[in-house]
Structure 1
Amino acid sequence: MSQGGGGELLCLGISHKTAPVAVRERLALTVKDQQALCAELVATDVVREAVAISTCNRTEVYVVGDPVSAETELLGRLAQHAGTRPTELAEAMYAPRNCDAARQLYRVVSGLESMIVGEAEIQGQTKRAYEAALEAGTTGPLTNRLFTAALQTGKRVRSETAIGEGRGSVSSVAVSLARDIMGPDLAKRDVVIIGAGETSELTAQALADEGVRTIFVANRHADRARSIAERFGGSVSSLHDLPDRLAEADIVVSSTASPHPIIGVDELAVVMREREGAPLLLIDIAVPRDVDPACGELDGVTLYDIDDLQQVVTRTREVREAERVQAEGVVEDEIQRFARWMGQLDVMPTIAALREHGDTIVDQVLAENAGRWESASPRDRARIEALAKSVMQRLLHEPTIRLKSVDRDGGHGRVQFARELFGLAEGVPEVPEVADAAAEADVRPLRRRGASGQ
């Protein structure tokens, strides 16, 4: 292992770029699922730290440990969660390591990997995932540094570039789709929002901008639903009354954290008969999906899921290339800072161990030969000791220079080779303190607040 025995950084993930929603929804993790998975991982011998992120477009787990063993362990647990074989799941997954893994997280938080480039929701989703891992006690020096720095990078990208202008989000695209299908005057339509999470709130905001008064359907977060409804002039109903709401609605947007469909095909068939042919638009932006895909086959029903929105995204993706390039430049700048910090995790403890190893050898050789110069004066003995240490220092000078200048991408393996070459112990040294007030400022309040995931 590199990192002075602490392990390497690994990300194992799946996203809208590598798998359809039918696959992604099987890997969707609730906050409790995330905490349980991370706790199970750090309880093994191959993972020391773990943080899991799960949104409608991705599930990613960042771990610190032996990269090969950790990847195998994590892939097996995710496959078990998805109810499939690891070999099948592996085809849709990516597994960057070390700085490449950090780069992936930085890009995710900055909105560069989102379906809608620059969307802002992912910043809060990542923050809550990190808070959940903090509460579960599964983070450590490397993941703490990684996530606080990534969140700071996301803030910097949005403050220094215009990549997030226009409030682009899945919610706004869903409303745009509804307008395209149902006509420009949405204010005349009856709209139902199922769920009361952040995505539902953003959807309500986008609808309010169109003059729409919405009905919120929610049981689990009824208080939050009432609060949102008051802000946007809507009303609240319970899931028990959902069939009645469906019978009256023109447009339904659903975004809950339910592990099972909320709208089934048989139940909706009954509702559609009551509607006597009146069309119904269902926009399902939840993962796992809230609406049974078979509902789309019913007469009068038009159903779009999260992947269908990709077509709208493609038509509306006009993020200026200059903004993307500038945002990527910010990410790469921050990655170099992280790379230097990671390099210190490997190099400085190794150099210290190498020096200590040399001093130990000098002391041993002097002790073994102490009887050979009984007649030597204290001054001569001091000269012999100084000569021995000088030889040691000159011998280790070049290896020290080379270690300090190792390439950031390939340096972890070279440092590990140096430890093996000189027979250095695999201790777990203290993580070097690197000044980063911005990152530390984020860690402390996160720890105080604990998890607040949706």
Structure 2
Amino acid sequence: MSELLALGASHKTAPLAVRERLALLDGQVEPFLSELVAHPGITEAVAVSTCNRTELYVVGEDPEPAVASMLAARAGGELADALYTARNCDAARHLYRVVSGLDSMVVGEAEIQGQVKRAYERALAAHTTGPMTNKLFRAALATGKRVRTETTISVGQASVASVAVESARALVGDLASRHVLIVGAGENAEQVARAFHFHGVTTMFVANRRRDRAIALAQRFGGASGSFDALPEELVRADVVVSSTASPHAIIGPEELAAVMAERDGRPLLLVDLAVPRDIDPGCSAVSGVTLLDMDALQAQVRGNLSVRREEARRAEAIVEDEIQSFAGWLGRLEVLPTLSALRSLGDSIVDGLLAENSGRWESLSERDAERVEAMTRAAVNRLLHEPTARVRSLDAADRHARLSLLRELFGLEEAAAADADEAAEVRRLHG
């Protein structure tokens, strides 16, 4: 029987060095998903890859070995201590918590909902979704929206970018008089620029490979823009550097940074690396006068975040559990009719087998008596199956999937048929 599996690694289970090897960058997601569903038995797959997590949501028959093997190959080694798994309703619950910001490094962060939405749309574009993942991701995104509507969990410093800027303020003091260099022009970079602007930063330089994006971001927050070619000169001027690109390799190394520091007359430099894989070589932390914060360092800065938001987090958890009951009911309905049909087919096959085995033993049995024997045998099997059938139909949504799995295991039932078309989630792109 196919199952829903969530398997991945996050800031809670894996250090940055592992997470950056697992990260799926732009252009890598679709081929990876296509390779996943090419495995026998795997029919659906969605990949969620952010700076703090890489998670795969797949549907198939015993898909864990294939999925774990692909991630281990990507990481270049054993991942047993870093990976976590969840199945069926537990997998849905995990995704609901992720989308709601409850599993984030910064509890309540708002960016994760958009990241999951884009991950789902990439899977749609790769044609690797199906009835279960379509239902799962649409329901998860709706749950995240409900959490942010009905709680204040995302109010305040609820993003990695805002924590990064607060950490910079704690280390260098008043930011308004500082020259800030932002490398990259994506979503994280925009959040960083907004946070610096809020703190009064007016001397801001944005560097990006695509000049048009750098210009647009700089203009929004009163800064200047330029290309990567201007990086050495801007590093000499900067007090704080925040880097967040999608580069697969480090763009600032210790040798070139040492040359930059030699031109700074002893002025210290704070580097904040929000990229996964990292933009700034870890060896830069050994350069005299340099302070380097990466995602693992920022995680240590926000360990108290959950306690600040504990009450709102409790309310959000209650919403997640409420929504999970609906998914559990849907998942159970997906399996009830095919399971009962398989159970009835098993009963019929047992009767047919018994009649065939004994057909030559009734020397004087009339045709009418043979019909009576068959009717009596089928009635006995139907009575035996009546109570299990009635109980399965009346199962609570929360228990239904587990009980059906046990029933299939006990009776050795074959895989249930696919869900009816009207039960399958509609496949279309998200908007808005």
| TM-score where L is the length of structure 2 | 0.89
SS class of match (2:262): helix
CA deviation vs aligned residue, 1:52-101 (integer Å, no higher than 9, x gap): 1111111111111123xx222122211211122x3xx1111111111111
TM-superposed CA distance for 1:248, in Å, is 1.1
- Alignment partner of 2:61 out of 47, 60, 66: 66
- Alignment partner of 2:19 out of 9, 18, 24: 24
The aligned counterpart of 1:417 is: 409
- 2:6 maps to a residue whose letter is C
CA deviation vs aligned residue, 1:278-324 (integer Å, no higher than 9, x gap): 11110111111110111111111111111111232135555332211
Q: Quick check: 1:166 aligned with 2:137?
A: no
Contact 1:34–1:53, Cα closer than 8 Å, also in 2: no
CA deviation vs aligned residue, 1:202-255 (integer Å, no higher than 9, x gap): 111111111223211100x43222222221112211112111111111110011
The aligned counterpart of 1:36 is: 31
SS class of match (2:9): strand
Contact 1:111–1:120, Cα closer than 8 Å, also in 2: yes
The aligned counterpart of 2:82 is: 92
Contact 2:99–2:112, Cα closer than 8 Å, also in 1: yes
Residues 298, 412 of structure 1: CA spacing in aligned structure 2 closer, same or farther, 3 A cutoff? farther
Alignment of 1:33-432 (within 5 A): 33-67=28-62, 70-84=63-77, 86=78, 89-184=79-174, 186-213=175-202, 214-219=204-209, 221-356=210-345, 358=347, 391-404=380-393, 405=395, 407-408=399-400, 410-418=402-410, 420=412, 424-426=413-415, 428-431=417-420
TM-superposed CA distance for 1:397, in Å, is 0.8
CA deviation vs aligned residue, 1:353-389 (integer Å, no higher than 9, x gap): 33455567779999989x966679xxxx8x9998776
TM-superposed CA distance for 1:47, in Å, is 1.5
| Bigger relative contact order (CA 8 A; separation at least 6) | 1
Contact 2:180–2:240, Cα closer than 8 Å, also in 1: yes
SS class of match (2:27): helix
Question: Matches of 1:307 and 1:155 in 2, distance apart?
Answer: 28
Question: Matches of 1:15 and 1:408 in 2, distance apart?
Answer: 30
Moved more, 277-286 or 30-39: 30-39
Share of identical aligned residues, percent?
A: 55
Question: Matches of 2:373 and 2:257 in 1, distance apart?
Answer: 92
Question: Matches of 2:417 and 2:205 in 1, distance apart?
Answer: 56
Residues 359, 83 of structure 1: CA spacing in aligned structure 2 closer, same or farther, 3 A cutoff? closer
Contact 2:26–2:246, Cα closer than 8 Å, also in 1: no
- 1:267 maps to a residue whose letter is E
SS class of match (2:428): helix
The aligned counterpart of 1:8 is: 3
Question: Matches of 2:141 and 2:332 in 1, distance apart?
Answer: 21
Question: Matches of 2:26 and 2:142 in 1, distance apart?
Answer: 22
CA deviation vs aligned residue, 1:154-192 (integer Å, no higher than 9, x gap): 1111111111111411100111111111112x1211111
Residues 412, 232 of structure 1: CA spacing in aligned structure 2 closer, same or farther, 3 A cutoff? farther
Contact 1:345–1:432, Cα closer than 8 Å, also in 2: no
TM-superposed CA distance for 1:198, in Å, is 0.6
Contact 2:335–2:401, Cα closer than 8 Å, also in 1: no
Question: Matches of 2:198 and 2:411 in 1, distance apart?
Answer: 61
SS class of match (1:31): coil
Residues 57, 425 of structure 1: CA spacing in aligned structure 2 closer, same or farther, 3 A cutoff? closer
Contact 1:343–1:411, Cα closer than 8 Å, also in 2: no
Question: Matches of 1:39 and 1:9 in 2, distance apart?
Answer: 17
- 2:154 maps to a residue whose letter is G
What 5-or-longer segments of structure 2 have no aligned partner? none
Paired residues, number: 423
What 5-or-longer segments of structure 1 have no aligned partner? 450-454
- 2:85 maps to a residue whose letter is A
